[in-house]
Chain A
Amino acid sequence: MMRLVAVQCKAEMLRIFRNPYYVFWSLLMPIMFYFIFTRVVNTGPDDASEWQAHYLMSMAAFSVMGSAIMTMGIRLVQERTQGWSTFIRITPLPSSVYFTGKMFGQTLMHLFSVLCIFLAGYLMNGVSLTAEQWLLSGLWILAGSMPFLALGTLIGFMKRVDTASGVSNVLYMGLAVAGGMWMPLDIMPKLMQRIGHWLPSYHFGDGAWRIVAGNHPQWGSILILLGYLAVFMILSVYIRKKQEAV
């Protein structure tokens, strides 16, 4: 069983890193944004270094959220439309192992993105955090990506790659803007703030923002993220049952 998981994980890892397209797009936009909003446009915050660390977390979370929703979702749709998932179903491989492999591959990709973006922050602005802060914020972002992976799995049930990529793009951008990843929620209208406080993306970012500000993520954030995870997973089990019951 362990051998099976290991082989599956290795295959998924190979596939992700041999497809530089996904890795490139998940890094390009966040790093460009980071450059623009900390070096080019002077957003004039009171404490420049605090803003640089804050926005670095925004962009790391933004990047990971994107690959969790989009890469996961689109790949699942591709595998289904190409008949690969059907083939896997007739092999003795338990679907849990198949899924574990996918999650592992995604997490590695997230880890890679986080490392690249942190490095970019360090190189561009000399962002300096304690070792504990680097580590904790990185772990928070990896763990906090779970609800978004579950959302990606939901996207993965869509029939066509075009639909999946359209829908996931809208969701991704919507969640990022409304969750204060591009611009802090504080400078947005009241209504936007109220909506934002219920979005998983806000709480995902907020945990990391608090860590780099020397605090800890709030329990409320953890609960809300877990809540979204549970809802997405239940939906996904339900849809899967429905699709298979033919």
Chain B
Amino acid sequence: MNHVIEMNGVSKAFNDKKAVDGISFTIGKGSITAVLGPNGAGKTTMISMLLGLLEPTEGTIKVFGSSPRDVRVRERSGAMLQEVSVMDRLKVREIIALIRSYYPQPMDMDFLLGATGLAPADLNRYAEKLSGGQKRSLSFALALAGNPQLLFLDEPTVGLDTTARRHFWDTVRELAARGTTILFTTHYLQEAEDIADRILLFSQGTIVADGSPEEIKARMVKQSLSFLPAGNAAHLRGQLLELPSVEDCYDKDGRIHVTTENTDEALRGIFTGGLAVRDVRIHQGSLDEAFEQLTMNREEDTK
């Protein structure tokens, strides 16, 4: 029972178009997993299946060892969906109290009020009068109402301003420290890198990479060197491409860039060969670039 979520060969097709295609993974207790991918990669479809809102076309899904539709599963999990969902003509406070009443062991009311990050005056307003971002904050509190052991957050920070976003992640970290298992989708790569201890990279309904942010980075991100030519640039380019450790060579922002698996080897080659370069810089690729590279490659593959 260490696996909170088990997905086994899960596919979901809408009118013969596969939104999710043969996905298998498990999520351990207490982990924070980011599901990362561009729009239309199948992230929301996958979350909907995990929540029992959609039935998979193929494969099996187990949450806490049971079907996602089991009421005991629902009592132990909470979710923040993408759609803004509030009930009209109820005050923020009343909606939170209402949803709390659905669960056997609800979260402390004050904690939930705090989780919204709303000012006391806003807590007494009708929920439909809140701004889009405030509604998102409210739906975050509603996701926590049942004191969930498993929390799903689908694109949670869309529409939140910087302050609200920071408050949101602080609360998420606090929950994680208490042992809550968290699964969130995002296309903000920085968020995945900062918060998650595991990233599932989605593209076209499949998982194209799975690992810790560092692993994904190490595997995907190419390092590069850049410098200014000290002599003839064309001649230098020819020399560079002859070095075994250099993979590619291109111009960008007035500098010559080379990509390589090993910057040490490339540098040694450049200096022992006496290549005419100056102002050498080493670049560490960001996860952003890796992500773009990976998902773009996939798109090109399928064309």
Name A's B-contacting residues (CB within 8 A). Answer: 3-4, 7-8, 11, 14-16, 18-19, 78-79, 82-84, 86-87, 89-94, 245-246
Contact = CB atoms under 8 A, between A and B. Distances in A.
B102 A11 contact: no
A14 B89 contact: yes
A90 B87 contact: no
B55 A93 contact: no
- Could you tell me the dominant secondary structure of chain B's interface residues? loop
Contact of A92 (B87, B89, B102): B102
Interface stretch (B78-86, B172-180, B202-210): B78-86
Interface stretch (B46-54, B116-124, B227-235, B237-245): B46-54
B42 to A, nearest CB: 15
21 contacts: A11-B90, A14-B89, A14-B90, A79-B87, A82-B83, A82-B84, A83-B85, A86-B81, A86-B85, A87-B139, A87-B142, A89-B53, A90-B51, A90-B74, A90-B77, A91-B103, A92-B71, A92-B74, A92-B103, A92-B104, A246-B55
Q: Give 8 closest A-B pairs by Cβ, nearest first.
A: A83-B83, A83-B85, A15-B89, A18-B89, A92-B74, A87-B85, A93-B102, A7-B101
A8 B99 CA distance: 10
Given A4-B101, A83-B83, A92 B90 contact: no
A182 B261 CA distance: 85
B156 interface: no
A78 B53 CA distance: 19
Interface string B30-68: 000000000000000000000111110000000000000
Contacts of B126: 18
A86 B83 contact: yes
A82 B77 CA distance: 22
B98 interface: yes
A119 to B, nearest CB: 25
B222 to A, nearest CB: 41
B21 interface: no
B90 A15 contact: yes
A19 B89 contact: yes
Contacts of B53: 86, 89-90
Nearest to A3: B101
A82 B197 CA distance: 33
